[in-house]
Amino acid sequence: MGLMERKTVSTRIEEIGIFPGIRVKTADQALYAAETLYHAGIPVAEITMTVPDAIEVIRKLAQSFPDMVVGAGTVLDKDTAERCLDAGATFLTSTGFVPEVIESALKRDVVAIPGALTPTEVIAAWKAGADFVKLYPSAPVGGDMYIRSLKVPLPQVKLIAAGGVNQQNAKNFIIAGASSIGVGVELLPRDAVLRRQDHRIHELARRFLGFVAEARVTE
């Protein structure tokens, strides 16, 4: 089974515009969350390394859904990066700028999404070869105004706004220039995942996809 090409993965992340961070208590919950989002029209899943057996979850999703953009989140060292890539991760992301993780991704021609916050970090991440830079935490440091400010001097850097993105501000982040928005519990409420409430997750997915579509029309 051939992995999705880096360019395809990058394009799809941007097209879909929603970058769901799956940070749940069990491997089963993570599989359920990713599958439910996939069927709800969001075929992207960032499985964070805080999920028990996260690498096995990535392996299962990559095998079951070859057209899903499945990757690894909170990857903080080279060893973990390599194991995620071996399992079929099509992108690696971290909460901060970890050069060895970017190197692992680029060596295997996989999408690299380092985290950053300050302009210096954003530039460093971009210069290291990042496909996107995940701006975290976006909302607490000024929200969409902060994204807008960064995009003025750095229009060429593709930003994923994450941290505090919700239904109220999602649209503004896209209008401000974010290529995608990182959403967690706002899209996957803990009790909805626990109780397997597909309808709730589908409704939230529909709303967030709607925010992205509306924002792009008004750009």
What is the domain range of residue 34?
Answer: 6-114+177-211
pTM over 0.75: yes
Asked if the structure places residue 156 within a domain, the reply is no
Asked if the structure places residue 218 within a domain, the reply is no
Residue 213 pLDDT grade (very low, low, confident, very high; cuts 50, 70, 90): very high
The answer to whether 40 and 34 have CB atoms below 8 angstroms apart is no
Asked if the structure places residue 202 within a domain, the reply is yes
- Total domains, the chain: 1
CATH of residue 64's domain is 3.20.20.70
C-alpha R_g of the chain: 16
Residue 134 a catalytic site member: yes
Q: What is the DSSP letter of 90?
A: S
Asked if the structure places residue 37 within a domain, the reply is yes
Residue 100 a catalytic site member: no
pLDDT per residue over 117-145, tens digit each?
A: 999 999 999 999 999 999 999 999 999 99
Q: Of these residues, 7, 15, 25, 46, which one is catalytic?
A: 46
* Assigned token pair, 102: 């970017």
Asked if the structure places residue 216 within a domain, the reply is no
Q: Of these residues, 134, 158, 171, 186, which one is catalytic?
A: 134
Asked if the structure places residue 133 within a domain, the reply is no
